[in-house]
């Protein structure tokens, strides 16, 4: 079976070969031709430059059928594209008249209408390569002249389509308004160059503009083609890089679709974004503008791309309520000498076969040229109601030929905004200068060893591409244009325009700034005094945010599943602040600061210590001073009555020491009041400890005497009396020992003042760090031991004669002392801050007042108010014991044991 198929294939091959050789005289013929219109002037010129311009705005839809596809017709005369085409012709004529560029050669042209459609752009590119008048392709031009390159094709999508074909044969192509960033890819488009900057710069400029005005929530509308899609893609990437958000992204259909158009309109109306970027050409934008007006969408700020910012199709006075205040980027404006006069030099009578000029005349003056079948107002678009408009009717008014172009007010004759028009001129000059470099073999230094010189006209298109690399020209207005290795303009600037309503009722394009760019850096220049018009109710700068900036005192919280521009405002935690609006995180306050109530600023923390000026501190000071004065008053009484029996009883010197120690302890509480510092922290505990040590050791000297007296009365034994010097030695030893421990405490680990911020964050509590807890416990533990010994000895001796008060007074004094300090411990541990200090001061004063009251007030009462009882007989008395032969007095203790008298002198 396989062998039979192989035989059949070989047989058919042989048959075809025989038939072809039998008809050697048969040549190829074009079955159909593209329906193209344009201009050609190639005779008497050595080279031809092709041109592609959108002289019409669209093609007439054709019905689908099984027949062979036909080339579509065009409709919608485009005055702007017609002016671009005339500018190319004017520029070529200008170059041919110059002697410094291609002095030995002249340029011709062949220009086709792309009808602003990809299909026509493809047709015109193929026509340039193969021709339509010859019976075989020659990859040069249908005019028979050398095709050196193409200018066009009038839009990014059109240039992309044409460049994919022209690039296969390395035909140089210079775009004048094709700014799509993808055209910089030399792998896909090896022979494409342009005189307009890449949209990469425009997208970066738009983001800089958005940032400048503080907009973060922006919508995007793009035409459904390469220009719009790649432009918005570049814009979104840049916006995401700087943390800006796209609220919505919709497209405008190339072929009117009510569903897609309503989707874009709905996105605009439902979004909170008040700023919208429109990346589209003016022709594609027309239906969308009508939809915006139909839905009465106002209070929006539109950011325009360079393709429509100065378009007369959009900048109409009746559109101003909806698009007024539009701000956008424009190609730098220029003045082209002689162009205006050249544009006026157009008339149908000059060439009856010039269908484009006839259509221009008919459309401009709304008349019908005699004996012409060219329609002048054809429109097959679907309107907003979904019905098709067909305007094929010829005007009843005939053109006379006397119509004056001066009376027209249309885009063709408007030379006030020559921006893309100037790019056309520059594109032609780039082609001409590249040819001039080829004619002189002007190679770059790195190319001279690897590239052979070419000659006009015997060169291949690929050879011309070498001379476009780093091509630099100076334009007629002094601007410098330099192409980089990707065929892009390496540096330049955009004008930033703002739509105003002029005094004449026409929209004016007011330049409010510039965006300067190079391949490495860029700069947005917007003077502060620029007169910007905003189409808002308040005429003020619009806000465009998903969520308003968080006020100071709050931070931005993420909303799950939503862009970063949509967030919740979360109050800062205590101790954290956000001083600026819109902060992502709250900043912590310093150690000495705290957040205010609004969490918007760090303020110094409240400083807390027991101050002299506050009520509690002042009260404690009064009590301290009053206690010291009372002790001094007692001392004065004792000094005055120092020779009386009651004062002399049980060692008056120790009584004076106790009084002095009480003054020290009472006044030591003053060291606890006020702002602590290092010296006061060291002095207060030491002073208190030494004061109590002196007091308790003196009391201990007294209690030991009483203890011995009691033991005599109980044991009825003759004892050796305690000499007063021994009592002083007890005091001295105790005080010296305490001083030694205190000195070691101060030297090794002394107390220090520190700021306590752990108890309350909102406050700084100035208090003393007591240093070594072991030393502190040792110091006050010694005082506790002395107090315990005093209590035990006096408790044992409490049964001395009833009329003797010393033992009982000391017993009650020590009970008060222990009660105060035992209750002090839990109270001290349960309080914080200044109240903790107040509790300690209260314990000091209470214990001091207790000792003072128990030890001295009863005696002072007798001395001052009952002086008759201050006698030896009254102070002394019999001890009601088993053996009454023993007699104890405050001055002497007499014991009679077995008719033996023992006398113990206590205070002499």
Q: What DSSP state is assigned to residue 540?
A: S
pLDDT at residue number 874: 66
Taking a C-beta distance cutoff of 8 angstroms, is the pair 659, 642 a contact?
no
Mean pLDDT of 341-356: 89
| Mean pLDDT value across residues 212-231 | 92
> pLDDT for 697-721, tens place per residue?
888 877 777 666 555 555 544 444 5
Confidence of residue 24 (pLDDT cuts 50, 70, 90): very low
The pLDDT assigned to 428 comes to 96
Q: Which residue has the tokens 């605009």?
A: 268
State the Cα–Cα distance between residues 812 and 806, nearest whole angstrom: 10
Assess whether the region 199-330+491-525 and the region 615-875 belong to the same CATH fold: no
Query: Using CA atoms in the order 129, 133, 134, 138, what is the torsion angle rounded to 10 degrees?
Result: -20
In this prediction, residue 894 carries a pLDDT of: 29
Task: Give the tokens for residue 499.
Answer: 């739509």
Percent of the chain with pLDDT over 70: 83
Q: How far is Cα of residue 188 from the mean position of the Cα atoms in its chain?
A: 39
Task: Determine the CATH number of domain 38-60+70-197+342-347+401-482.
Answer: 3.40.50.2300
pLDDT of 144 reads: 61
Residue 275, H or E segment: strand 275-279
> Tokens at residue 555, please?
């931070």
Cα distances (Å, whole numbers) of residue 545 to 213, 325, 772: 12, 19, 60
User: Would the CA dihedral through 652, 653, 659, 662 be positive or negative?
Assistant: negative
Distances (CA, A) of 890 to 313, 803, 868: 126, 10, 16
The confidence band for 279, taking pLDDT boundaries of 50, 70 and 90, is very high
Token pair recorded at residue 860: 């002072």
Instruction: Give the pLDDT score at 463.
Output: 86
Going by pLDDT thresholds of 50, 70 and 90, the confidence category of residue 908 is very low
> What is the pLDDT, as a whole number, of residue 645?
81
Strands 593-595 and 587-588: unpaired
CA-CA distance, 396 to 368, in Å (whole number)? 7
Structural domain spans, the chain: 38-60+70-197+342-347+401-482, 199-330+491-525, 554-604, 615-875
- Say if residue 115's pLDDT is above 80: yes
Helix, strand, coil: what percent of the chain each, to 5?
45, 15, 40
- Residue 887, φ and ψ in degrees, nearest 5: -120, 125
Whether residue 9 has pLDDT greater than 50: no
Residue 1's pLDDT is 42
Whether the predicted pLDDT of 470 surpasses 70: yes
**Phi, psi at residue 700, to the nearest 5°?**
-60, -40
CATH code given to domain 199-330+491-525: 3.40.50.2300
Q: How far is CA 33 from the centre of its chain?
A: 61
Beta carbons of 651 and 727 less than 8 angstroms apart: yes
Could you report the per-residue pLDDT of 380-434, keeping only the tens digit for each? 554 443 444 444 445 568 888 888 888 888 889 888 889 999 999 999 999 999 9
Instruction: Indicate the CATH number for domain 615-875.
Output: 1.20.1070.10
CA distance 905 to 908: 6
Are 369 and 375 spatial neighbours (Cβ–Cβ below 8 Å)? no
| Alpha-carbon distances, residue 546 vs 64, 216, 563, 565, 811 (angstroms) | 46, 8, 9, 6, 81
Residue 389 has what pLDDT? 44
What is the reported pLDDT for 685?
A: 83
Residues 337-357: what's their mean pLDDT? 90
Instruction: Lowest mean pLDDT of 188-197, 318-327, 693-702, name the range.
Output: 693-702
pLDDT of residue 835: 83
8 A C-beta contact, residue 654 and residue 810: no
Q: Which residues touch 416 (CB under 8 Å, ≥6 apart)?
A: none
Is residue 374 within 8 A of residue 358, CB to CB? The reply is yes
* Residue 549 in tokens: 């900036």
Under 8 Å between Cβ of 433 and 101: yes
Strand intervals (E) in 548-620: 554-558, 567-571, 576-577, 587-588, 593-595, 602-604, 606-608
**pLDDT confidence bin for 477, thresholds 50/70/90:** confident
Q: What is the mean pLDDT of residues 29-33?
A: 67
Confidence of residue 313 (pLDDT cuts 50, 70, 90): confident
Distance CA 57, CA 282 (A): 10
Distance CA 158, CA 254 (A): 13
Distance between CA atoms of 347 and 349, rounded to whole angstroms?
5
Residue 121 per-residue DSSP state:
H
Q: What is the reported pLDDT for 855?
A: 82
Q: What is the per-residue burial (b if ≥16 Cβ within 10 Å, else e) of 519-541? A: eeeeebebeeeeebbbbbeeeee
User: Any bridge partners for residue 223, and if so which?
Assistant: 252
Least confident range of 131-135, 450-454, 462-466, 493-497? 131-135
Closest residue by Cα to residue 83 from 498, 360, 400: 360
What pLDDT is recorded for position 882?
37
In whole angstroms, how far apart are CA 527 and each of 496, 531, 532, 707? 11, 9, 10, 101
Q: What is the DSSP letter of 304?
A: E
Confidence of residue 31 (pLDDT cuts 50, 70, 90): low
| CA 124 – CA 106 distance, rounded (Å) | 23
Q: Report the mean per-residue pLDDT for the chain.
A: 81
880: pLDDT strictly greater than 60: no
Q: Which residues contact 273 (CB under 8 A, 6 or more apart)?
A: 217, 218, 219, 247, 248, 544, 546
Residue bearing the bigger pLDDT, 887 or 579: 579
Burial environment of residue 650 by CB neighbours within 10 A (0 to 12, 13 to 18, 19 or more): buried
Res. 448 pLDDT band, cuts 50 70 90 = low
Question: What DSSP state is assigned to residue 382?
Answer: B
Give the burial string for 323-356 (b: 16+ CB within 10 Å, else e). Answer: bbbbbbbbbbbbebeebeebbeebebeeeeebbb
The pLDDT tens digits of the residues spanning 730-770 come to 888 888 888 888 888 888 888 888 777 776 677 788 888 77
Is residue 884 over pLDDT 70?
A: no
CA distance 834 to 765: 8
- The pLDDT, as a whole number, for residue 537 is 85
pLDDT at 217: 92
Question: Strand 107-113 to strand 146-151: parallel, antiparallel, or no bridges (unpaired)?
Answer: unpaired
Report the alpha-carbon distance of residue 550 to residue 573 in Å, rounded.
15
Least-confidence region, from 272-286, 417-431, 583-597: 583-597
Say if residue 843's pLDDT is above 60. Answer: yes
pLDDT of residue 875: 65
First to last CA, the chain: 153
Structure tokens at 13: 């091959």
Q: Mean per-residue pLDDT for 671-695?
A: 85
């Amino acid at each position: 079976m396989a062998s039979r198929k192989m035989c059949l294939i070989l047989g058919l091959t042989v048959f075809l070969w025989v038939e072809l050789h039998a008809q050697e005289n048969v040549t190829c013929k074009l079955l159909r031709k593209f329906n193209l219109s344009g201009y050609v002037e190639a005779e008497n010129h050595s080279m031809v430059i092709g041109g592609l311009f959108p002289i019409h705005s669209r093609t007439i839809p054709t019905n689908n059928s099984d027949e062979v596809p036909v080339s579509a017709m065009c409709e919608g005369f485009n005055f702007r594209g017609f002016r671009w085409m005339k500018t190319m012709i004017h520029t070529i004529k200008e170059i041919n008249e110059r002697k410094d560029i291609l002095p030995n050669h002249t340029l011709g042209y062949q220009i086709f209408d792309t009808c602003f459609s990809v299909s026509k752009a493809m047709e015109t590119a193929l026509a340039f390569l193969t021709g339509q008048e010859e019976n075989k392709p020659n990859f040069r031009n249908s005019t028979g002249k050398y095709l050196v390159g193409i200018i066009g094709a009038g839009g990014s999508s059109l240039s992309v389509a044409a460049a994919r074909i022209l690039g296969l044969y390395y035909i140089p192509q210079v775009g004048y308004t094709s700014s799509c960033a993808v055209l910089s890819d030399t792998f896909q488009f090896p022979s494409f160059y342009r005189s307009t900057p890449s949209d990469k710069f425009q997208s970066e400029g738009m983001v800089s503009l958005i940032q400048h005005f503080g907009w973060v929530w922006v919508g995007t509308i793009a035409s459904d083609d390469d220009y719009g899609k790649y432009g918005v893609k570049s814009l979104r990437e840049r916006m995401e890089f700087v943390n800006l958000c796209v609220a919505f992204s919709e497209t405008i259909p190339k072929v009117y679709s009510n569903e897609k158009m309503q989707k874009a309109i709905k996105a605009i109306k439902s979004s909170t974004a008040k700023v919208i970027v429109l990346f589209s050409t003016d022709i594609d934008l027309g239906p969308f503008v009508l939809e915006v007006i139909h839905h009465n969408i106002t209070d929006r700020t539109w950011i325009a791309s360079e393709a429509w910012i100065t378009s007369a199709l959009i900048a109409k006075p009746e559109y101003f309520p909806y698009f007024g205040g539009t701000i956008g980027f424009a190609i730098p404006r220029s003045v082209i000498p002689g162009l205006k006069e050249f544009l006026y030099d157009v008339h149908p009578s000059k060439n009856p076969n010039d269908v484009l000029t006839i259509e221009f005349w008919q459309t401009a003056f709304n008349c019908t040229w005699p004996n012409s079948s060219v329609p002048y107002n054809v429109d097959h678009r679907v309107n907003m109601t979904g019905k098709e408009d067909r305007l094929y009717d010829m005007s009843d008014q005939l053109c006379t030929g006397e119509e004056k172009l001066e009376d027209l007010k249309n885009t063709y004759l408007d030379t006030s905004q020559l921006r893309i028009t100037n790019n056309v001129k520059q594109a032609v000059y780039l082609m001409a200068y590249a040819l001039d470099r080829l004619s002189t073999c002007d190679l770059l230094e790195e190319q001279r060893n690897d590239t052979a010189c070419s000659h006009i006209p015997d060169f291949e298109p690929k050879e011309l591409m070498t001379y476009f690399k780093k091509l630099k020209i100076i334009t007629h207005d002094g601007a410098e244009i330099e192409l980089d290795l990707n065929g892009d303009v390496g540096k330049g600037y955009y004008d930033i325009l703002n739509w105003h309503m002029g005094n004449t009722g026409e929209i004016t394009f007011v330049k409010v700034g510039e965006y300067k760019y190079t391949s490495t850096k860029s700069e947005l220049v917007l003077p502060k005094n620029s007169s910007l018009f905003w189409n808002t109710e308040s005429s003020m700068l619009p806000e465009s945010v998903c969520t308003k900036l968080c006020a100071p005192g709050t931070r931005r919280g993420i909303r799950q599943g939503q862009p970063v521009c949509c967030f919740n405002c979360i109050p800062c935690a205590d101790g954290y602040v956000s001083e600026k609006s819109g902060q992502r995180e709250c900043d912590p306050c310093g150690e000495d600061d705290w957040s205010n109530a609004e969490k918007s600023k760090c303020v110094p923390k409240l400083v807390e210590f027991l101050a002299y000026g506050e009520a509690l501190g002042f009260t404690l000071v009064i009590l301290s001073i009053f206690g010291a004065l009372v002790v001094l008053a007692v001392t004065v009484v004792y000094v005055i009555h120092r020779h009386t029996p009651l004062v002399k009883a049980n060692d008056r010197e120790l009584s004076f020491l106790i009084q002095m120690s009480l003054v020290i302890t009472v006044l030591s509480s003053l060291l606890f009041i006020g702002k602590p510092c290092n010296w006061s922290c060291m002095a207060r505990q030491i002073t208190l400890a030494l004061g109590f040590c002196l007091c308790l050791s003196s009391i201990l000297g007294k209690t030991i005497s009483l203890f011995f007296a009691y033991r005599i009365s109980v044991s009825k034994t003759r004892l050796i009396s305690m000499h007063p010097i021994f009592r002083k030695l007890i005091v001295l030893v105790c005080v010296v020992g305490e001083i030694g421990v205190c000195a070691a405490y101060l030297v090794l680990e002394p107390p220090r003042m520190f700021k306590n911020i752990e108890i309350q964050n909102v406050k700084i509590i100035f208090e003393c760090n007591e240093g070594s807890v072991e030393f502190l416990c040792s110091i006050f533990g010694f005082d506790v031991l002395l107090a315990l010994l005093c209590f035990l000895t006096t408790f044992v001796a409490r049964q001395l004669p009833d009329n003797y008060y010393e033992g009982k007074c000391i017993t009650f004094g020590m009970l008060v002392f222990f009660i105060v300090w035992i209750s002090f411990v839990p109270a001290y541990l349960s309080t914080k801050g200044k109240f903790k200090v107040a509790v300690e001061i209260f314990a000091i004063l209470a214990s001091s007042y207790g000792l003072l009251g128990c030890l001295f007030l009863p005696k002072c009462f007798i001395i001052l108010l009952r002086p008759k009882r201050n006698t030896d007989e009254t102070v002394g008395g019999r001890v009601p014991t088993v053996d009454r032969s023993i007699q104890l007095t405050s001055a002497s203790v007499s014991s009679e044991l077995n008719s033996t008298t023992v006398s113990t002198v206590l205070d002499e």
